[in-house]
Each structure stands twice: as C-alpha cells, then as structure tokens.
C-alpha cells in the first residue's frame, strides 16, 4: 500500500513505527525532521520527493536502490551518476540520496530527490534546475517495479550494472583516516581502494572525492 500524506516528521521514521509488509510505502509532500545518512538533517521543503518503503533484507540493497533510481532518471533523459554507495549526482552535484535502515529482516529504504525545491547545500542540484519535471506517483510505480525485478538479480549482475553509473572508480578519494585511489566495488558491496602503501582497503564508510 502507498500512503500519501502532506506533512510528517520523517517518512523513514513513520515506517519504523508500524509492523508493515514488504513494499508498503509512504510519500510525504514535506518532512519536518528529514533524516540523512550519518545522523545528518535532510532539508525537506515542499517540492521535493520524500519517499520510504519496506524491503526485505538483501545483499547489495543500497546499491540496488541507487541503480534503480539512476535508471529511471536515464529513461527520462537525465544522466545521473551514483556515488557509492547511493548518492545521486548530476553534473557532480547532489540530486538526491538514500537512507537504508535495517530493522530485523526488513530494511526501511528512504529516498530523497530534489525536484522543484531548492536545497541550501552548496553542491546540490534539482530536477527543475535541469529543466525536468517528473510525476511523483509515476516515479514511485517505476521505482517499485525496478526494485522488484532487481531483487531477483545476482550480485555479479548488480555490480556490473552499477559500473554503468559509478563515478568513483579510478578517482582519488579520502575518508576519515586515509586516502587512496578507487579500484572497484567488491562482491559484498564494499568500496575497494588502493592506498599509498599499495594496500587494498575495503571500505564501508562514506568517502569524499579529492
Ligand atoms: C543522504 O544523506 O544522502 C540520504 C538522504 C535520504 C533522505 C530521505 S527523504 C525520505 C526519507 N525520509 C527521511 O527522513 N530520509 C529519507
């Protein structure tokens, strides 16, 4: 079931409060306490896309979500990249992001996309600034369909698809206590980076492009 609401604290938080079925979801026109990764605040004024759904746990799920969104955008004429694991970038600027929260056997997946809203983040972009307009309910239907079929794909297939949208491989990145050059995504979804000692580091934390 898709729940539609005009305002809520956070669509992710709302889903965690009920024992819902897989693919139950909620879209809100705005959020008063939108949440980003690593405890950050997610600006959620009217005009943006704020959607969360319940999915079964699956290996590489954050990557699956990023690819699914990038594919829909591509089908609408928008060339988006996915910055591992699931930041959505257009022209190097942040168009949207994904917040995955594990809850037992379920994962609450929250997706935020800048549509006609404007973000105060310095390096952000919106669909309207790019000259695009996407119907939110149409987007949800396409997204749910993509996710349903991607859940059946093998890990190798998912990693292969991810390479079509990746923007980090070959680039220099830094993280909390190191830096290096991105080599690949491992089969279990970690970012593999070669550091200055030629060691391979398998990262699960966010990285910054240098
Ligand atoms: C990020 O930090 O890049 C992830 C942002 C995720 C924001 C979305 S908006 C819908 C859902 N509800 C939330 O509170 N957060 C996610």
pLDDT tens for each residue of 158-186: 999 999 999 999 999 999 989 999 999 99
From atom 9 of ligand 1, which residue's Cα is the shortest distance away?
Answer: 112
**Residue 18 pLDDT > 90:** no
Cα distances (angstroms) measured from residue 126 to each of 33, 35, 49, 60, 207: 20, 18, 11, 27, 22
Nearest partner of 127 among 189, 191, 161, 76, judged by Cα? 76
The two tokens of residue 64 are 């699956």
High-pLDDT (> 70) share of the chain, %: 100
Its pTM stands at 0.95
Taking only the tens place, the pLDDT of each residue in 91-145 is 999 999 999 999 999 999 999 999 999 888 889 999 999 999 999 999 999 999 9
DSSP H helices, 76-154, are 136-150
Cα of 98 vs centre of ligand 1, distance in Å, is: 6
Cα of 184 vs centre of ligand 1, distance in Å, is: 26
Q: Tell me how far apart the 2 most distant CA atoms of the chain are, in Å.
A: 52
CA distance 13 to 22: 16
Q: pLDDT confidence of 153, banded at 50, 70, 90?
A: very high
Average pLDDT over residues 177-203: 95
Burial status of residue 41 (CB atoms within 10 A of its CB: 0-12, 13-18, 19 or more): exposed
Q: pLDDT confidence of 152, banded at 50, 70, 90?
A: very high
CA count, 13 A, side-chain hemisphere, 191: 29
Average pLDDT over residues 140-158: 95
The pLDDT of residue 120: 82
Taking only the tens place, the pLDDT of each residue in 41-73 is 999 999 999 999 999 999 899 999 999 999 999
Instruction: Looking at the CA of residue 34, tell me the nearest atom of ligand 1.
Output: 14
Residues with CB under 6 A from ligand 1: 10-12, 31, 34-37, 40, 42, 50-52, 87, 97-99, 110-112
Size (the chain), residues: 210
The pLDDT of residue 175: 94
Close Cβ partners of 161 (under 8 Å, ≥ 6 residues apart): 67, 153
């Amino acid at each position: 079931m898709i729940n539609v609401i005009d305002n809520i604290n956070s669509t992710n938080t709302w889903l965690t409060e009920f024992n819902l079925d897989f693919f139950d979801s909620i879209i809100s026109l705005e959020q008063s306490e939108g949440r980003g990764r690593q405890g950050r605040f997610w600006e959620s004024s009217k005009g943006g896309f704020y959607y969360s759904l319940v999915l079964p746990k699956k290996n590489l799920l954050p990557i699956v979500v990023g690819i699914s969104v990038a594919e829909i955008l591509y089908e609408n004429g928008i060339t988006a990249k996915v910055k591992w694991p699931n930041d959505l970038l257009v022209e190097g600027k942040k168009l949207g992001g994904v917040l995955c929260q594990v809850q037992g056997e379920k994962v609450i997946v929250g997706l935020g996309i800048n549509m006609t809203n404007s973000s105060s983040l310095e390096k952000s972009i919106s669909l309207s600034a790019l000259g695009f307009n996407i119907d939110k309910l149409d987007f949800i239907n396409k997204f749910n369909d993509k996710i349903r079929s991607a859940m059946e794909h093998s890990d190798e297939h998912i990693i292969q698809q991810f390479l079509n949208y990746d923007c980090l491989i070959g680039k220099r990145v830094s993280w909390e206590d190191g830096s290096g050059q991105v080599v690949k995504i491992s089969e279990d979804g970690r970012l593999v980076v070669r550091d200055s000692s030629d060691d391979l580091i398998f990262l699960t934390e966010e990285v910054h492009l240098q």
